[in-house]
Structure 1
Amino acid sequence: EAAFYDALQSGDIDKLMACWGDEDDIVCVHPGGGRLVGPAAIRSTFDTMFSNGTIRAFPEKVRKIDAMSASVHNVLERIEVLTEEGPRHAYVIATNVYHETAQGWRLVAHHASPGTSSEMHEVSETPPVLH
């Protein structure tokens, strides 16, 4: 995960794609966007994003669920956007799914949704009834 966010911040498409699995059915959903399936579609969108500059995304408040050869991370991302008035922050809620492969842990799904600064204050109290 550190390598994924480092690649975002440095705008390095090769490092970013090295974080992803090789399967044809890997999935990425950007905030407000459609479902991208496969390495070529994912690479294309990140190439477009990087052509507009680097993405200053800082993962915060990571929650992990690990099971055998899979790991699911829910991340609150703080995105730094540079404006004429100085840096502004946007927030994204992301879920990153990793599979352990012969080459190490690889990202197989990244699903991001728009968030707000209030997301930075977690509600972690367990409800008495799940459904």
Structure 2
Amino acid sequence: MHDPKARNAALLASPEDTEQQFYEALQQADLERLMEVWADEEDISCVHPGGPRVLGRGAIRAAFETVFMQGAIPVTPERVRRINTGDTAIHQVLERVQVQGPQGPQSAWVIATNVYLKTGYGWRLAVHHASPGTAHDIQEVVEEPSVLH
């Protein structure tokens, strides 16, 4: 019998693969698939928009179980900024969430930071920190290069 984590390691060959699996699991309210992307480290953490810091696999699982009771999360990652250094990758993501408003479907925005670690089982999520955003957050403030080439 194969180790299920080893089976999924090929699917999580890069931080981008792990991120894709994470967001697809959110979109499908698939708790098992969602938990497969998380690292086994004791100090993994998750912060939902406006919520407390949730530490450890059991607490993260319980938090997402509660979230999924409301159904799948229609979230799409946009404008991903990546910093990759060796065995760590940090992705800053603007998340678009479809919500039902008084005038029908509308987009809500969340600003998230996802931290991935390269493990013996492939790339795994170690931190997901999401903060409420606004339509203004669609615009990015980017520092101009200080040296002209």
Q: TM-score, normalised by structure 2?
A: 0.82
The one of 110, 130, 138 aligned to 1:120: 138
| Number of residue-to-residue matches in the alignment | 128
In the alignment, the residues of structure 2 paired with residue 121 and residue 31 of structure 1 have an alpha-carbon distance, to the nearest angstrom, of: 19
1:37 pairs with 2:58: no
Amino acid at match of 1:28: C
Partner of 1:110: 128
Asked which structure has the greater CA Rg, the reply is: 2
**What stretches of structure 1 move > 6 A for 4+ residues in a row?**
none
The one of 13, 19, 41 aligned to 2:37: 19
Partner of 2:21: 3
1:99 pairs with 2:117: yes
Query: What is the deviation of 1:84?
Result: 6.3
In the alignment, the residues of structure 1 paired with residue 76 and residue 70 of structure 2 have an alpha-carbon distance, to the nearest angstrom, of: 18
Structure 2: which 5+ runs fail to align? Answer: 1-18
Query: What is the deviation of 1:82?
Result: 2.9
Amino acid at match of 1:17: M
Structure 1 residues 37 and 127 mapped into 2: Cα distance closer, same or farther (>3 Å)?
farther
Give 1 or 2: higher helix fraction: 2
In the alignment, the residues of structure 2 paired with residue 63 and residue 37 of structure 1 have an alpha-carbon distance, to the nearest angstrom, of: 25
Query: What is the deviation of 1:85?
Result: 4.0
Mapping for residues 47-66 of structure 1, pairs under 5 Å: 47-66=65-84
- Deviation string 1:34-65 (CA, Å, 9 cap, x unpaired) is 11000011111110111111101110000000
Partner of 1:68: 86
SS at match of 2:26: helix
SS at match of 2:32: helix
In the alignment, the residues of structure 2 paired with residue 84 and residue 48 of structure 1 have an alpha-carbon distance, to the nearest angstrom, of: 25
Amino acid at match of 1:11: A
Amino acid at match of 2:129: H
- Determine what percentage of the aligned residue pairs are the same residue: 52
- Deviation string 1:81-130 (CA, Å, 9 cap, x unpaired) is 134642121100000000001111000000011101111111112487xx
Q: TM-score, normalised by structure 1?
A: 0.93
Amino acid at match of 1:55: I
Amino acid at match of 1:100: K
The root-mean-square deviation of aligned C-alpha atoms, in Å, is 1.4
